Amino acid sequence: MSRVHDIVIRIGGESGEGVISTGELTTLAAARAGFYVYTFRTYPAEIKGGHAVFQLRLSDHPLYSQGDELDVLLAFNQEGYDKHHAELRSGGTLVYDRDQVEEASVRAEKTFGVPLTSIARDEIKMPLAKNMVALGALARLFSIPEEITRELVEEKFKKKGAAVIQKNLEALTAGGNYIEKNFPDLEALHITVKPTDTRLVLSGNEAIGLGAIVAGCREYFGYPITPASDIMEFLAEELPKLGGTMLQVEDEIAALAMAIGSSFAGKKAMTATSGPGFSLMTELMGLAGMAEVPVVVADIQRAGPSTGMPTKMEQGDLNLAAYGSHGEAPRIVVAPINVEDCFYQTITAFNLAEKYQVPVVLLSDQSLAYRTECIRRPDLSRVQVWEREMFQATNGDGYKRYAFSETGVSPMAIPGTSGGNYVATGLEHSETGRPRYDPATHQKMTDKRFRKVTAATRDFPAVETLGDADAELGIVSWGSTLGSVREAVELARAKGIKVVSFYPHVIHPLANGYLINDLKRVKRLIVPEVNMLGQFAGLIERQYRGEVIRLNVYGGLPFKTRTIVEKIEEVAGNG
């Protein structure tokens, strides 16, 4: 039995024939067997057809990226082999459907040809069970206990009846039996791990939904859009159990308008969308800023512009998130770095929105949204849930909803509160909320609104660092790019290169020295981003006086760790 510590598996094939479901079930089986897991998926925007990919990395230690080289390739068809076999490492393992892949074309040191299609069609009499045959073969290859995979199949198909469950169990067994019978000298790839119940397997979108619930969100309004819809689906299931509401509305404009209205009435509310939908919301983002109404908007970025590539990732919405509105409308942008961080930074987003009465954008992306990771069970002792400053009922008049204060925050009254009457509009206004159009009022109120986001920096999560404290070369990343950066920094340091990485959880505004004071420690700064223009680098350059070196990929896929390592080596060599 061959023991390893880290395995990258890629499954490739036609969308609609079970590539993604095979990956998802293999992930859950591996996690229940005690592995750490980290996944990446990409597939066409069409409902059926086109090439789909699911990549799973599993290990006996925590993982930070999807991995660069493939240890195992499972090819459902010829295209699945042709597109990916070049990335199979030397000594890697190829598992392929003998009915769909020309064996004469196969080039790999370890090959396992399994007739997935004919086993499902002829032996099981259920062609759609091809993915279950594949799951059985993979489980046998990695010594995943059969009771775990059987339990998963029973859970997946329990609503479809005993006959469907039985057919899929037969397919699962057939896949494992074929491996045992035809490859008797097989050395299974095996990682020694101990099953544990202290970890959860969640996607980034599920973690956002869970974080919203813990933060106190009970009102969600949304319109379906890839890749954000999973948040709505998760909360549609969970919010009613807590007395909350999830409402699917007619469009993105209505979704944010209703969330603002719900918050105005005293409820914590949110919506989620992607780039095209967020573009439609920009006027209402200005309204939330002007009326000083707390609200959280999750923008799950995808490759753009326009409809773009709905099922591919990009970090292209930062400028839109930070500045997307006519006029100057303050807001805060929070960017989680991994699945676990999606949970905690969603709570951060609600806390900042409520305390400082501003709209907060939670900026994730397609890769992180669909990524599945093993995470520690959330430590609720770490969680603080903040509430907005409320106006206390009085018997008199004179309530100043927009009273000037040192931080810019003023008490908010819930409609119907005695003595708390006011009008909240998009018009410029006085302290009492009455419309005012004179220059002095507009300047004072603009200052007030921006004082809030400046004051909020004192409550931003600390910038985390990794690497050599005395390094002159730094690297700063944001969002889901962090995992590849972390591994790249560790590899570079192992080669003797001094480098330090910085990763903030809030990426706008960079006020009061937030992040910039940390960056002043280094003379040269690499900024890797999955966009063309280097949007975060542009924000940093306004305040950082060292050399900013952009590193950009924009093909719709995440960074490979080696791309970042090569850039670190190049810059260090030129120093």
**Which candidate, 318, 380, 387, 303, places its Cα nearest to that of 352?**
387
Residues forming a β-bridge with 298: 272, 362
- Would strands 36-42 and 51-59 be described as parallel, antiparallel, or unpaired? antiparallel
Task: Please report the domains of the chain, with CATH numbers, ordered by start residue.
Answer: 2-190 (3.40.920.10), 201-382 (3.40.50.970), 464-574 (3.40.50.920)
| Overall residue count recorded for the chain in this entry | 575
Q: Does residue 192 register a pLDDT over 90? A: no
101-115, 447-461, 507-521: the lowest-pLDDT one: 101-115
Q: pLDDT of 523-565, one tens digit each?
A: 999 999 999 999 999 999 999 988 999 999 999 999 999 999 9
Show the DSSP H helices in 389-467 as ranges: 439-456
Residue 290, both tokens: 């002007």
Q: How far is CA 539 from the centre of its chain?
A: 22
Q: pLDDT of 54-65, one tens digit each?
A: 999 998 888 999
Q: pLDDT of 81-91, one tens digit each?
A: 999 999 999 98
Q: pLDDT of 372-403, one tens digit each?
A: 998 889 889 889 999 999 998 876 678 999 99
Q: Tell me what pLDDT residue 2 has.
A: 46
What pLDDT band is residue 33 in, cutting at 50, 70 and 90? confident
Q: Does residue 257 register a pLDDT over 90? A: yes
- C-alpha span between 354 and 292 (Å, rounded): 10
* Cβ contact 415:275 at 8 Å: no
Q: Which residues contact 88 (CB under 8 A, 6 or more apart)?
A: 69, 70, 71, 73, 94, 108
- What's the mean pLDDT in 501-510? 96
Q: Tell me what pLDDT residue 394 has.
A: 76
Q: Does residue 191 register a pLDDT over 80? A: no
What share of the chain in percent tops pLDDT 70? 96
Query: To 5 degrees, how large is the angle CA 227–CA 39–CA 23?
Result: 95
Helix axes 204-215 and 339-356, enclosed angle (nearest 10): 40
- C-alpha span between 288 and 357 (Å, rounded): 9
* Cβ contact 522:498 at 8 Å: no
187-191, 371-375, 470-474: the lowest-pLDDT one: 187-191
Task: Count Cα atoms within 13 angstroms, Cβ side, for 168.
Answer: 24
- C-alpha span between 410 and 416 (Å, rounded): 18
Tell me which amino acid residue 114 is. V
* Cβ contact 315:337 at 8 Å: no
428-463 b/e (C-beta count within 10 Å ≥ 16 → b): ebebbbeebeeeebeebbbebbbbbbbbbbeebeeb
Residues forming a β-bridge with 12: 53, 75
Residue 413 to residues 82, 216, 379, 391, 496, Cα–Cα distance (Å):
63, 19, 33, 5, 59
Asked if the bond preceding 378 is cis, omega within 30° of 0, the reply is no
- 3 state SS for 230-266: HHHHHHHHHHHHHCCEEEECCCHHHHHHHHHHHHHCC
- C-alpha span between 366 and 217 (Å, rounded): 23
- C-alpha span between 526 and 547 (Å, rounded): 8
- 3 state SS for 194-231: CCCCCEEEEEHHHHHHHHHHHHCCCEEEECCCCCCHHH
- C-alpha span between 360 and 356 (Å, rounded): 10
Three-class secondary structure of residue 341 per DSSP: helix
Q: Does residue 169 register a pLDDT over 90? A: yes
Q: pLDDT of 8-24, one tens digit each?
A: 999 999 998 899 999 99
What share of the chain in percent tops pLDDT 90? 82
Q: Does residue 48 register a pLDDT over 90? A: no
Q: Tell me what pLDDT residue 193 has.
A: 55
- C-alpha span between 274 and 315 (Å, rounded): 11
Q: Tell me what pLDDT residue 1 has.
A: 40
Q: What is the per-residue DSSP string for 127-160?
A: GGGHHHHHHHHHHHHTT--HHHHHHHHHHHTGGG
Q: Does residue 3 register a pLDDT over 60? A: no
